[in-house]
Structure 1
Amino acid sequence: MSKYDEAMKLLEEKFGNKDILISLSTIALKPGFNGQSRPAARIVDAYYEDGAFYIVSYATSYKMQQIAKNPEVAVCIIVDNFTADGIGENLGWVCDENNAEMMTKLRKIFAEWYYEANNDEDPNTCLLRIRLTKGLWNDAHKGIRNEIDFVNKTAD
């Protein structure tokens, strides 16, 4: 098994088929105090599958506005020492037929809280996909540092 395949298997074991909390960072629309771009981070519930995280959001939220302007994002899962860069993409309304398969999974995974937090009848309730481009498992205490290139499907 290649290092990339091993990394993908580990991602699936750690994050697949469950509701996980991740830190999602975008670039804020307004500059920082020095006039330069600044990050905007928040914790979101996510579902991982095949090199991407899926998040239910709201089309007019700050994060979705920020992603529309600059789709480059970063994620962090601190407990597992995993960080990654990715491309955010608004896949549209959660009830769009193109989202039916993924939303069936998400409603099941997020069942405990999904309908308290989301209104599927509102066309602004949307599905956000974060396609990972580069990732890093980094645990200095265990001497682990594995870089993953999701685009070229390599790891070292």
Structure 2
Amino acid sequence: MGRYEEGLKLIEERCGNGKDNIISLSTIAMEPNSEGKSRPYVRDVDAYYEDGVFYVTTWGASTKMQQIAQNNEVAFSVCLGWFSGNGIGENLGWVLDPKNAEIRTKLRKTFAEWYDHANDEKNENCVILAIRITRCTVIKDHGAVRYNMDFVNKIETQEGIIR
């Protein structure tokens, strides 16, 4: 097993198998700061992980979704998980859209404890956000082992580099 595959296995152990993950999700502001530079925004969200993608139920008109519509590049960090990186955010649309049936079932199961309280599925603004990982770093043993992963090319690489 290569290092990329070892990193994938570690991610699956930590975040997969129907686990409700809290991740910090960072987007870029729609308006620049007073110096004309982009500002990051960060918030914690519950996320379900599967095959290189985090899935989040959210409000389609939220600030994060407006920001992602303007610039779909995002950053994330799994809270207390020693796993962070970048990805592409994609609005998959209404949770009740038939194309979302399979992932919706998984989300409802993973988030069963609070899903119905937090989501108004009858409203078409209740959407699924997919965060497709492009690169990440996974740390093991308090930094003794580090996996820098390029999800685009499916290889281990230098930290922060996609080839």
Alignment match, 1:7: 7
Alignment match, 1:109: 110
Q: Give 1:140 shift.
A: 8.2
CA distance in 1, matches of 2:139, 2:3: 15
Partner SS, residue 128 of structure 2: strand
Q: Map 1:93-108 onto structure 2 (within 5 A).
A: 93-108=94-109
Q: Give 1:4 shift.
A: 1.4
**TM-score, normalisation: structure 1:** 0.95
Moved more, 33-42 or 47-56: 33-42
Partner SS, residue 79 of structure 1: coil
Alignment match, 1:18: 19
Q: Deviations over 1:39-66 (max 9, x none)?
A: 0000000000000100001110000000
CA distance in 2, matches of 1:32, 1:144: 38
Alignment match, 1:79: 80
User: How many residues are aligned here?
Assistant: 156
The runs of 5 or more residues in structure 1 that have no matched partner are none
CA, structure 1 residues 112+140, in 2 after alignment: closer, same or farther (shift >3 Å)?
closer
1:42 is aligned to 2:43? yes
Partner SS, residue 80 of structure 2: helix
Partner SS, residue 88 of structure 1: strand
Partner SS, residue 24 of structure 1: strand
Partner SS, residue 26 of structure 1: strand
Alignment match, 2:154: 153
Alignment match, 2:119: 118
CA distance in 2, matches of 1:80, 1:127: 23
Alignment match, 2:69: 68
CA distance in 2, matches of 1:141, 1:12: 18
CA distance in 2, matches of 1:124, 1:81: 32
**TM-score, normalisation: structure 2:** 0.91
The runs of 5 or more residues in structure 2 that have no matched partner are 158-163
CA distance in 2, matches of 1:120, 1:78: 27
Letter in 1 for 2:63: Y
CA distance in 1, matches of 2:11, 2:66: 28
